[in-house]
Amino acid sequence: MGSLKRKSSWSSKTLAKSKKRKGPHLPNSILKIIATQKRPLNSDDNEIDSDVDLYEYEEGIPEEESRKNNRYGRLDNYEFKLPDDFEDEDVESEDDEDGLNSEYDGDDDRHTRMLQVLTGMPSAAFNSENKSKPLLFTEPYPEGEFNPTRDVLSGKNILTEEDFLAPLEEYHKTSKQISRMRKDTYKSLVHPPLPKPDRERLERKAARGLVDEEFSKWVHLVKRNREAPTVYFNQEVVNLGKSTVGAIASEFQPRTEFEMRMASVLNDNEVSEAHREDGARLLELNQASSVIYFIPCRLHDVSMEDHIKDYNHIAKMRSLLFNHERKSKQIKKIKSKLYHRLKNKDLRNSVLGALMDPEMAKEEAMKQEARRVEERMTFKHKNRGKWAKRMVRRGLNVKYNGTGEAITEQLQINAELSRKINSLRDGSSSDEEELSDGSDQDTPYKLLAKAKEKTLRALEDDEVCNSGLMSLPFMVRAMKKKNEEANEEAKRAVEEYEEWENSGGAVKPKKTISVSGRRVFGAIEAPKESKKDSDNFYDNNSDSDIDDNDLEGVRDTASPARRNTGTTTETEVTRDEGGEDSESEAEQMVDGIFEVPSQAELINRAFAGDDVVGEFEKEKQEVLNQEVPEPEKPVLLPGWGQPWPTNKRGYHQIKTTRKEEDAQRKREEALKTRKDFRLKHVIISEKVDKKAEKLHTTTPPFPFTSKEVFEHSMRMPIGPEFNPSTVVGDLNRPEVVKKTGVIIKPVKFEEVNPNEEVDDEHPRNHQKPRLNKKTSRRQSKVK
């Protein structure tokens, strides 16, 4: 009953238990065994509990409380509930004597009384029943004189040895013994072990001390190796064995079948002898051996005839192929008759052909002439043909482009042919004239007459066109004036001709050609020639007067030309002089006629470009602007992006923004930091040479961290050109010196004097004592 009640108060615990006890219903005996195994046997209370549990109805968790789903509104559990992990330690204490007046006991009393009343039996019966249930004892043994009290158990008032010994102290004799005993007791006193972490820490500490000691032995060695500029490995003499090709070859042992066979041939005495002495024998042997060794069995079966047959067959096929190829090539070359005809025609038509062959040219010319004649006679190409007429009548439609083109082409041909005729005529006529001129040179009279005639004719026809611009009054006047002048000239000319006719002197008729009433623009050849002539024969020209006159006669035309020629010749002369100057100077020097320039001249020369300095400054400014560009001016027009006029006058003030000022300041600073800032006469370019950039590092190489240290370490050259031979080796020794092909052994411990200076300069010397040391140590060990 009591247990039931307790249940209610421990609802939570049972709940937890009930959850566990789900499963198959086992027979009681088994369950009991399980229970006894689980719990200590002497805890009766629990036993009972387990008994009860087996037969008790177990109420599941009400659905409201299970909170599996929120079907029910949340019910507040007002019953006090212990936490799940609550350990009911004090339960026992409830059963103590101290807690007799507790509620639980009170309940019991009441219960017994109730039973007494109901049954009429003495309460002892019930009590015995009640007492038969063993009480829970918290102490292992009943309280008594010889049993430790609860205090003692809890460790409060422990009896020490002193307590026992205190009464004995009175006896002096025993005091010594006691003290000894005390000591013993102290000795034998075993302290409880330290907590594990502390113990471990201590262990580690001790171990570290040991390891430190072990390792610190190596520190000096490691330090020395680290700081050594060169580390040497395997300095002892090691025999690496044979390495030459001959040595390796001599070791060769034939293993495979092929190798064996080769060896047998190579080592055959017969063969080697033959090789040494008799060539013919060697040949024989070779054939024999080839038959034996090298001709595979399959080939061996083929007879000589078959071989020849095969060979012939191949040759035949090859020749066939060759012929076929040749034929195809020929075919490619063959061209049709038409092709050749066209080609020839082209050649004939081309100018090249005409040039090449005079006969052909002649033929061509004849043909051309014939065509021309035909054209002239028939107007073949004037679109007078039936077809052309029809076409024209129908109208040159845009629809048929071809017809239009054809017609224009015909017209073109016509024009060409006719033009050619004209030009030919002109050419021929001029030629004739020239020829006649040439022929007339013998007969100046005739020529003079002709000239006279011409001038007269020119005088007579004063054609003045009276239309357009020429009809304007001032133009008319000007023309009149010109005409008059021309007339006068012509008259003069006529007079001259007459004079010459009378005098009968030698005349150069060419000059007269230019004398005409017409206006002439630009220079004419003839007067130039005359000028040249006059230049050449200036002194010995008999008829210079004629020349002069002549020149006078054509003054308006020839004078500019004359002037030109004059100037050109002059310049030529000066240039020649200039050119010769430097060359001739040398000659002059040789002759010893070197002119020392005067002081004034020198000064002139020195200050020829007076504003040299100013120019240089300008150039410097340019360079500076290029290398440190001026900040960009604002792109906005004045007024844009600014408030309404701020100036008194109402104009927009252009304010420099902070940005611009900054840029300007930056530029000034950049200029200040330039090397040539203070040097007026110097421009030092600070352009970055991209090609030379690879010769510099951007960051100091690994072990270095500062620029200065790195650059200072780089200041000395280490090559043999710059250092005495005694130091070059040390300066250029690699970091590691070792022998190739030898395994590097791990470092061995050796005693190092930490104060010893590392001797880098004489590594060889350094090495030897080390070796000696090692050997000595070994010896000592042996001893």
Partner 1 sequence: MEVALEDNSLMDKVLPPDEQEIDVELEAKEKKYLRGEGANLETLKDKKLKTQLASREKLYGKSAKAAAKIEKWLLPASAGYLETDGLEKTWRVKQTDIAKEVDILSSRNQYDIVLPDFGPYKLDFTASGRHMLAGGRKGHLALVDMMSMNLIKEIQVRETVRDVAFLHNDQFFAAAQKKYSYIYARDGTELHCLKERGPVARLRFLKNHFLLASVNKIGQLHYQDVTYGDMVASIRTGKGRTDVMEVNPYNGVVALGHSGGTVTMWKPTSQAPLVQMQCHPGPVSSLAFHPNGHLMATSGKERKLKIWDLRKFEEVLGDSSGDYSRYMSHSMVKGYQIEKVMFRPYEDVLGIGHSMGWSSVLIPGSGEPNFDSWVANPFETTKQRREKEVHLLLDKLPPETIMLDPSKIGAMRPSRRKERLTRGEIEAEKEVAVEAAKGVELKKKTKGRNKPSKRTKKKKELVENAKRTFPEQENSAAGKKRRIGEDAAAELPACLKRFARKN
| Residues between 658 and 687 that touch partner 1 (CB under 8 A) | 669-670, 673, 676, 679, 681-685, 687
- What Cα–Cα distance (Å) separates residue 754 from each residue in 219, 223, 228? 9, 9, 13
- The site that binds partner 1 (CB under 8 A) totals a number of residues, namely 71
Per-residue contact flags (x/-) with partner 1 for residues 173 to 212, judged by CB under 8 A: ----------------------------------------
Q: 181 or 221: whose CB is closer to partner 1?
A: 221
Q: In this structure, how many other beta carbons lie within 10 angstroms of the beta carbon of residue 6?
A: 16
How near is the Cβ of 753 to partner 1 at its closest, in Å? 17
Q: 224 or 652: whose CB is closer to partner 1?
A: 224
For tokens 């030898």, what's the residue?
Answer: 742
Segment interacting with partner 1, rule: CB under 8 A, options 388-396, 405-413, 548-556, 692-700: 692-700
How near is the Cβ of 755 to partner 1 at its closest, in Å? 15
Q: 522 or 724: whose CB is closer to partner 1?
A: 724
Residue 760 touches partner 1, criterion: CB under 8 A: yes
How near is the Cβ of 591 to partner 1 at its closest, in Å? 8
How near is the Cβ of 634 to partner 1 at its closest, in Å? 23
SS3 733: coil
Q: Could you tell me if 626 and 685 are in contact, meaning their C-beta atoms sit under 8 angstroms apart?
A: no
Q: Which of residues 483-522 bind partner 1 (CB under 8 A)?
A: none
Segment interacting with partner 1, rule: CB under 8 A, options 64-72, 201-209, 316-324, 754-762: 754-762
Q: 87 or 756: whose CB is closer to partner 1?
A: 756
Distance, in Å, from the CA atom of 662 to the CA atom of 740, rounded to the nearest integer, reads: 65
Name the strand (E) or helix (H) holding 232. Answer: strand 231-232
Beta strands in 33-135 (DSSP E): none
Q: 64 or 619: whose CB is closer to partner 1?
A: 619
**Among residues 692, 753, 764, 781, the one that binds partner 1 under rule CB under 8 A:** 692
How near is the Cβ of 613 to partner 1 at its closest, in Å? 6
Q: CA triplet 653, 654, 657: central angle to 5 degrees?
A: 125
**Among residues 195, 703, 734, 754, the one that binds partner 1 under rule CB under 8 A:** 703
Distance, in Å, from the CA atom of 83 to the CA atom of 81, rounded to the nearest integer, reads: 6
Name the strand (E) or helix (H) holding 197. Answer: helix 196-227
Q: 513 or 731: whose CB is closer to partner 1?
A: 731
How near is the Cβ of 651 to partner 1 at its closest, in Å? 19
**Among residues 216, 243, 328, 698, the one that binds partner 1 under rule CB under 8 A:** 698
SS3 747: coil
Q: Could you tell me if 116 and 122 are in contact, meaning their C-beta atoms sit under 8 angstroms apart?
A: yes
Q: Which residues does 613 contact at the CB level (< 8 Å), separation at least 6?
A: 681
Q: Bridge-partner residues for 736, per DSSP?
A: 231
Q: Do the bridges between strand 736-737 and strand 231-232 make them parallel or antiparallel, or are there none, so unpaired? A: parallel
Q: 184 or 761: whose CB is closer to partner 1?
A: 761
Q: Up-side HSE of residue 610: CA atoms within 13 Å toward CB?
A: 2
Distance, in Å, from the CA atom of 745 to the CA atom of 528, rounded to the nearest integer, reads: 106
Q: 510 or 667: whose CB is closer to partner 1?
A: 667
Distance, in Å, from the CA atom of 250 to the CA atom of 638, rounded to the nearest integer, reads: 99
Q: Which of residues 578-617 bind partner 1 (CB under 8 A)?
A: 585-586, 589-590, 592-594, 602-603, 605-609, 612-613, 615-616
Q: In this structure, how many other beta carbons lie within 10 angstroms of the beta carbon of residue 486?
A: 19
For 747, the token pair is 């470092």
Q: 523 or 731: whose CB is closer to partner 1?
A: 731
Q: 297 or 593: whose CB is closer to partner 1?
A: 593
Segment interacting with partner 1, rule: CB under 8 A, options 181-189, 250-258, 655-663, 716-724: 716-724
Eight-state DSSP code of residue 492: H
Q: Which of residues 91-150 bind partner 1 (CB under 8 A)?
A: none
How near is the Cβ of 607 to partner 1 at its closest, in Å? 6
Q: Which of residues 621-660 bind partner 1 (CB under 8 A)?
A: 623
Distance, in Å, from the CA atom of 683 to the CA atom of 619, rounded to the nearest integer, reads: 9
Per-residue contact flags (x/-) with partner 1 for residues 277 to 316, judged by CB under 8 A: ----------------------------------------
Q: 651 or 677: whose CB is closer to partner 1?
A: 677
Q: In this structure, how many other beta carbons lie within 10 angstroms of the beta carbon of residue 283?
A: 11
Taking alpha carbons only, the member of 40, 243, 45, 55 closest to residue 133 is 45
Segment interacting with partner 1, rule: CB under 8 A, options 297-305, 348-356, 492-500, 699-707: 699-707
Distance, in Å, from the CA atom of 610 to the CA atom of 589, rounded to the nearest integer, reads: 31
Residue 321 touches partner 1, criterion: CB under 8 A: no
How near is the Cβ of 228 to partner 1 at its closest, in Å? 9
Q: 409 or 587: whose CB is closer to partner 1?
A: 587
Positive or negative, the CA dihedral 650, 654, 659, 664 is negative
- 644: left (phi > 0), else alpha (psi -120 to 50), else beta? beta
How near is the Cβ of 574 to partner 1 at its closest, in Å? 20
For 697, the token pair is 């590092």
Taking alpha carbons only, the member of 7, 8, 4, 10 closest to residue 87 is 10
Q: Could you tell me if 230 and 733 are in contact, meaning their C-beta atoms sit under 8 angstroms apart?
A: yes
Distance, in Å, from the CA atom of 136 to the CA atom of 6, rounded to the nearest integer, reads: 15
Q: Could you tell me if 92 and 138 are in contact, meaning their C-beta atoms sit under 8 angstroms apart?
A: yes
Q: 238 or 747: whose CB is closer to partner 1?
A: 747
Q: Which of residues 721-750 bind partner 1 (CB under 8 A)?
A: 721, 723-724, 726-727, 730-731
Eight-state DSSP code of residue 134: P
Classify burial at 15, counting beta carbons within 10 Å of its beta carbon; exposed 0-12, middle 13-18, buried 19 or more.
middle
Segment interacting with partner 1, rule: CB under 8 A, options 127-135, 378-386, 529-537, 717-725: 717-725
Q: 89 or 610: whose CB is closer to partner 1?
A: 610
How near is the Cβ of 270 to partner 1 at its closest, in Å? 52
How near is the Cβ of 635 to partner 1 at its closest, in Å? 27
Taking alpha carbons only, the member of 72, 76, 26 closest to residue 53 is 26
**Among residues 619, 622, 630, 668, the one that binds partner 1 under rule CB under 8 A:** 619
**Among residues 64, 758, 773, 775, the one that binds partner 1 under rule CB under 8 A:** 758
Q: Which residues does 737 contact at the CB level (< 8 Å), separation at least 6?
A: 230, 231, 232, 233, 763
Per-residue contact flags (x/-) with partner 1 for residues 205 to 244, judged by CB under 8 A: ---------------------xx-x---------------
Segment interacting with partner 1, rule: CB under 8 A, options 136-144, 375-383, 411-419, 619-627: 619-627
Q: 256 or 726: whose CB is closer to partner 1?
A: 726
Q: Which of residues 376-435 bind partner 1 (CB under 8 A)?
A: none
- What Cα–Cα distance (Å) separates residue 215 from each residue in 156, 219, 745? 51, 7, 19
Segment interacting with partner 1, rule: CB under 8 A, options 76-84, 251-259, 430-438, 718-726: 718-726
Residue 712 touches partner 1, criterion: CB under 8 A: yes
Q: 291 or 682: whose CB is closer to partner 1?
A: 682
**Among residues 244, 706, 740, 779, the one that binds partner 1 under rule CB under 8 A:** 706
**Among residues 170, 277, 461, 689, the one that binds partner 1 under rule CB under 8 A:** 689
How near is the Cβ of 666 to partner 1 at its closest, in Å? 9
**DSSP string across 82-97:** --TT----HHHHHTSS
